Chain A
Amino acid sequence: MTGVPHGAAPDGRRIEHRIRIEPDGRVLALSGKIEYGQGIRTAMAQLVADELDVPFDHVQVVLGETRLVPWDIGTFGSMSLAVEGRILQLAAAHARRLLVERASRRLDVEPAQLATADGVVRCRRDGRTVRYVDLVAGDPLTGTIPEDATCKAPEARRWIGRAMARVEAHALVTGTARFVADVRLPGMLRGQALRPPLPGARLRELDDRAARLVRGVVTVVRDGDFVAVVAEREQQAAAGIQALDADWDAPRDPEPAGIDVVMLEAGDLAAGFACAAHVLEASYTVPHIANAPIGPSAAVADVQPDRAVVYCGTQRPFALRSEIAAAIGLGELEVDIRPQVTSGTYGRNSCGDAALEAARLSKAVGRPVLVQWSRAEEFALSPHRPEVAIEARAGIDRDGRIVAWRYHELTNPHTAVAMFDPNAARATSGRNAIPLYRLPAARVELHVQPGQVRTGAFRSLAAAPNIFAIESMIDELAAAGGIDPLELRLRHLDDPRMRRLLEAVAERAGWSTRPRGHAGRGYGIACAVYHGTYVAEIADVEVRDDGNIVLRRMFCALDPGLVVNPDGARNQVEGSVQQAASWVLRERLQYRNGRVTTSAWEDYPIATFRDAPDLIDIQFITDGGAPMTGLGEPGCVPMAAAIANAVFSGTGQRLRTLPLSITKSR
């Protein structure tokens, strides 16, 4: 991962690179984060409109455009509002203070006599006004944003905390939103790459004579093992690919790689197990699954000898800029990354595959090139969620105390560029591997090694698999000890925020009067803290006679600190629940001998309208004092365990392999 900004990247700590008041009254708010359905553009506009005292619709949030915004590491980990939303909030608050100071000098009154509203500073005493636009004309706001800039008190807020429609909504429902593959440039061609029989195969020989004769084919590009056809129309490029004759050599065996990390070592494990009344051992397995965006990867590149413009969907615009600059031999500042409206990809867009292909092809032909991956390419070539195998051994004593915990996670790299570095591994493949609970003796180990399938970033990284194993094991311990699963959790938790959420979600779901007795209907509970956001969930599941597992209702309680847009926040949690229910109940990528064999939706059924739960109930429980944290991922993290625990409650069958599948008893 690229670590340090360089070149003339705007400094994100300076106000002139965060907030710009334009002559027409628009306020530009600048961030390197990316919008792909999380609603951050809307929430950021709410934060800025409130702190700056401008109308909401005057704020235009500019995201990820590398020539305009400060350097950013990338959009992942549910950090956009927690980090960048906070910076924009502070920048706007500071900007308002600077504007009041300028108005004070211009009107010759004390700042205390001045009030701000709708982009205007007004003198309370005599009613004189001056517009922000006039205060910055020819003299934009500059300087460092103080980390302790004073933000508004909650009661003075006008936009923060208000349910707002997404700013992109009108363009999306009328079809005018311009997604990546909708970019049309004069002279634009279509590019399609030839795919090797196995990832990493080396091209031995290529006969492209027939392909060059296909109508509409402009050229065949060969650059090392990368071969592509560029044509006027998409199906002509596809016909060109069909006409290529290529021989391949087998890929070189990869260098052996891997890393062992001890994540946690505490207490005396042997002594702990010795005093346990019940010792349980269990293996939990999680298959490869596909990010499976509805819009497959696409990009448009326009590469000229001295500059390149790339229209793409990316979660890491600055890292992509470096990669493209290196691939086509330009300087980083000569490459202009312009993120477009993009299909949600849930981590997949951390890799700019299509953008790199488009850039190489545009450089080769000297014209703009659109690359649109097919559905089959998206399944076969994208990085996928790693497989995870977890061995857990835990003991509980006669008094219902968990006395020993041993946990070993085996998985593949959770980042596109494998990082065999202990700290990186802990933060990615080891995410949420350490339980929340008070444990007198514990050992948590992680082993990361590449598998047969290309792996990369997937929503919540290893948090969802780890919480599946941990929260299932807690449920198994509760059953062994004859203790209510909610009660066992509360006994081992000191953190008042999590205790409060568990109690609230149990209350809402009717936990104390839940169905019991393995009659096919069951409730399951699970919880997690994900990057500062607390989440507790209860699944209400029905197991039908044919073994079909149906998620009927989902109860969720979350504490993300400040909630900026309550309806947008709710939407994020609902989507997390729905998507994770699909992973848990349906999804498994198929592969054989290092080749992904899943190629179409027929091979990879995801949840549809028919599978949507009857209810997704969401409560946000915050005391307002905690810092703002994210909501893009937390809701999906406890889902697998909540559903598996509900299946156990409803049937007595303990399922430890995803996707969950019941053995028919009749």
Chain B
Amino acid sequence: MRYRLEVNGSVHDVDVPRATTLLSVLRDDLGLTGTRFGCGHGKCGACHVLADGQVVASCLVDVEHAVDRKITTIEGVADGDRLHPVQAAFIEVDAMQCGYCTSGMVISAVALLARRPRPSEAEIREAMSANLCRCGVYVRAIAAVKRAAELAPCEPPGVP
């Protein structure tokens, strides 16, 4: 089946079997491997992407339901060489260890700050709770999201 997708501002035509997941299309057809496979059940957050600004688990999204939605992956979060405040803050705070969950965490945090430019700690914990991290960087990641909110003081960080 042929599908037309808009990913990170570019239009792509793909030809994949019916019922292929958005995650598989991103990784296997578009070469956007920054979105990670974690569980296939939408329970770990490693495959989070934005669809029209909303966080979705791309492992649960059938490619045909991604058509007509603006998809943003981790590769599309920075503005060229300019990192998004969330990315800059994750580096500054060193809020990662192995980094496998980092893409999904950054996506969740970008969506949170677009919605709530000054989130409370409780809101951060709640918004990020779908992102599992086995290395245990939660305390740092909370600090990084707070720092990202400070790094974008004038305007809410936009969803690219």
Query: A161 on the interface (CB 8 Å rule)?
Result: no
- Report yes or no: B17 in contact with A236, Cβ–Cβ below 8 A: yes
The docked-state distance in angstroms from the alpha carbon of A175 to that of B83 is 12
Contact: A174 with B83, CB < 8 Å? yes
Asked if A43 is at the interface of the complex by the 8 Å CB criterion, the answer is no
- Which of chain A's residues has its CB closest to B125's CB? A609
Closest A residue to B75 by CB, please name it. Answer: A175
A601 nearest in chain B by CB position: B43
In the complex, whether B71 has a CB less than 8 A from a CB of chain A is no
Closest to B28 in A: A233
Which residues of chain B from 28 to 79 have a CB within 8 Å of any chain A CB?
Answer: 28, 31-41, 43-44, 46, 73-75, 77-78
State in angstroms the CA–CA spacing of A184 and B99 once bound together: 20
Inter-subunit contact B46/A38 (CB<8 Å): no
Whether A169 is near chain B, meaning CB under 8 Å from some CB there, is yes
Kindly identify which residue among A175, A178, A343, A574 contacts B136, using a CB–CB cutoff of 8 Å: A574
Complex Cα distance, B96 from A540, in Å, reads 25
**Stretch with Cβ within 8 A of B (4 or more), from A49-57, A204-212, A392-400, A577-585:** A577-585
Known contacts A37-B99, A173-B87, A295-B36; A574/B92 CB under 8 A: no
Chain A residue numbers with a CB within 8 Å of B94 are: 165-166, 169, 567-568, 571
Q: How far, in whole Å, are A325 and B101 apart by their CA atoms in the complex?
A: 33
B87 touches A294 (CB 8 A): no
Q: Quick one: given A38-B97, A600-B43, are A609 and B91 in contact (CB under 8 Å)?
A: no
The reply to whether A235 and B19 form a contact with Cβ atoms under 8 Å apart is: yes
Interface size class of A (residues with CB under 8 A): 35 or more
A606 pairs with B90, CB closer than 8 A: no
Do A215 and B17 touch (CB < 8 A)? Answer: yes
User: Are A169's CB and B91's CB within 8 A?
Assistant: yes
CA distance A177 to B78 in the complex (A): 15
The one of B24, B39, B96, B129 in contact with A235, judged by C-beta atoms closer than 8 angstroms, is B24
| Given known contacts A344-B134, A600-B41, A609-B138, A216 and B101 CB-to-CB distance under 8 angstroms | no
- Contact size class for B? 35 or more
Q: Is the CB of A343 within 8 A of B125?
A: no
Binds B, one of A139-147, A355-363, A460-468, A610-618: A610-618
| CB <8 Å contact, B19 and A601 | no
Q: Could you tell me if A602 and B98 are in contact, using CB atoms closer than 8 angstroms?
A: no
**Does residue A607 face the partner (Cβ distance < 8 Å to B)?**
yes
Whether B141 pairs with A606 at a CB distance below 8 angstroms is: no
Do residues A176 and B75 form an inter-chain contact, with CB atoms below 8 A? yes
Please tell me which one of the listed residues A170, A184, A608, A616 contacts residue B132 in the complex, with CB atoms under 8 A apart: A608
Q: Chain A 95-122 against B: per-residue CB contact (8 Å), 1 yes, 0 no?
A: 0000000000000000000000000000
- The reply to whether A601 and B125 contact each other, CB–CB distance below 8 Å, is no
B98 touches A578 (CB 8 A): no
With contact pairs A174-B83, A344-B97, A344-B135 given, residues A602 and B102 touching in the complex (Cβ less than 8 Å): no
Q: CB distance A343 to B98 under 8 Å?
A: yes
A458–B64 Cα distance when bound, in Å, is 41
Residues of B within 8 A of A346 (CB): 134
Contact A179–B78 (Cβ < 8 Å): no
Q: Which residues of A contact B87 (CB under 8 A)?
A: 173-174
Q: Looking at the complex, which one of A179, A292, A611 makes contact with B134 (CB distance below 8 Å)? A: A292
**A residues 313-363 with Cβ under 8 Å of B?**
341-344, 346
Distance A378 CA – B14 CA, assembled complex (angstroms)? 31
A293 CB within 8 Å of chain B: yes
Among the listed A216, A292, A571, which residue makes an inter-chain contact with B17, where contact means beta carbons less than 8 Å apart?
A216
Contact B140 A375 (CB under 8 A): no
Tell whether, in the assembled complex, residue A375 and residue B90 are in contact, meaning their CB atoms are under 8 Å apart.
no
**Interface status of B137 (Cβ within 8 A of chain A):** yes
Q: With an 8 A cutoff between CB atoms, is A374 at the interface?
A: yes
In the bound complex, residues from chain B placing their C-beta under 8 Å from that of A571 are 94, 97, 137, 140
Counting CB contacts under 8 A, is A182 at the interface? yes
Confirm or deny: A542 has a beta carbon within 8 angstroms of a beta carbon on chain B: no
Q: Is A72 an interface residue, CB under 8 A from the partner?
A: no
The answer for the CA separation of A575 and B139 in the assembled complex, in Å, is 9
B139 contacts A172, C-beta separation under 8 Å: no
Q: Confirm or deny: B22 has a beta carbon within 8 angstroms of a beta carbon on chain A.
A: no
| Interface residue ranges, B against A (CB under 8 Å) | 16-17, 19-21, 24, 27-28, 31-41, 43-44, 46, 73-75, 77-78, 83, 86-87, 90-92, 94, 96-103, 106, 124-126, 128-129, 131-142
Beyond the given pairs A37-B99, A294-B100, 15 more chain A to chain B contacts, judged by CB atoms under 8 angstroms and listed by A's residue number, are: A169-B96, A174-B74, A175-B75, A294-B36, A295-B37, A295-B46, A375-B39, A575-B135, A579-B134, A601-B41, A601-B44, A609-B124, A609-B131, A612-B139, A616-B139
8 contacts between A and B (CB under 8 A): A173-B83, A173-B86, A173-B87, A173-B102, A175-B33, A179-B33, A567-B94, A578-B139
